Structure 1
Amino acid sequence: MIFFPLYDKIVVKKINLENKIGKIYIPTNDNEIIKGEVIEVGIGYLLNDGNIKPLIVKKKDNIIFKDNYNIEKYKINNIEYYFIKEKDIISIIK
């Protein structure tokens, strides 16, 4: 399946790994922090003057973000996809 996110939307595939990033332990709770791989990114923010500001995050970046009420989810073939905005990202993992 191919996604074409619009403007500042980002498509992320959930990575089901242990809840550690390097040596940092990520606790799981009701406000779960999720690790994912960026699959596709939109072209950027549409500014009031009509210009587009590109996104910082790029395709194939690994990120962590908080699963909250305004994030759309889609599951196909046991793979979870999240449709988020860049502002929902906590960090890019290098």
Structure 2
Amino acid sequence: MAKRLIPLFNRVLVEKIVPPSKTSAGILLPEKTTKLNSGKVIAVGPGARDRDGKLIPVSVKEGDTVLLPEYGGTEVKLGEKEYHLYRDDDILGTLCD
């Protein structure tokens, strides 16, 4: 049975993107050039509530590619895959093609 995690409040479930360590021609890339801390949004919570009880929705959606902070997030393992949970306001930005 496959497990599915649905984040609560303003949390975002992210699968980190591991950049390739070598090119298609087989040239090894230095670690510094491959270090862009990004991930794909897998699931989002409904959002947080303000003082008046109004819902503030999460600013990203499933499928977005996001820029993540170097540190932070909570590691979650579901089956064989590894994910990270971040608060919506910890995500630095959305990456566009």
TM-score (normalised: structure 1): 0.75
Give the superposed CA RMSD.
2.3
1:55–1:76 distance in 2 versus 1, CA, 3 Å: closer
Aligned ranges 1:17-36 → 2 under 5 Å: 17-18=19-20, 27=32, 34-36=37-39
Query: 4+ runs of 1 displaced by more than 4 Å?
Result: none
TM-score (normalised: structure 2): 0.73
Question: 1:4: which partner in 2?
Answer: 6
What percent of counterpart residues are identical?
Answer: 28
Q: Is residue 2:77 matched to residue 1:75?
A: yes
Select 2:49's aligned residue among 36, 39, 46: 46
Query: Which of 1 and 2 has greater Rg?
Result: 2
Is the strand fraction higher in 1 or 2?
1
Question: 1:22: which partner in 2?
Answer: none
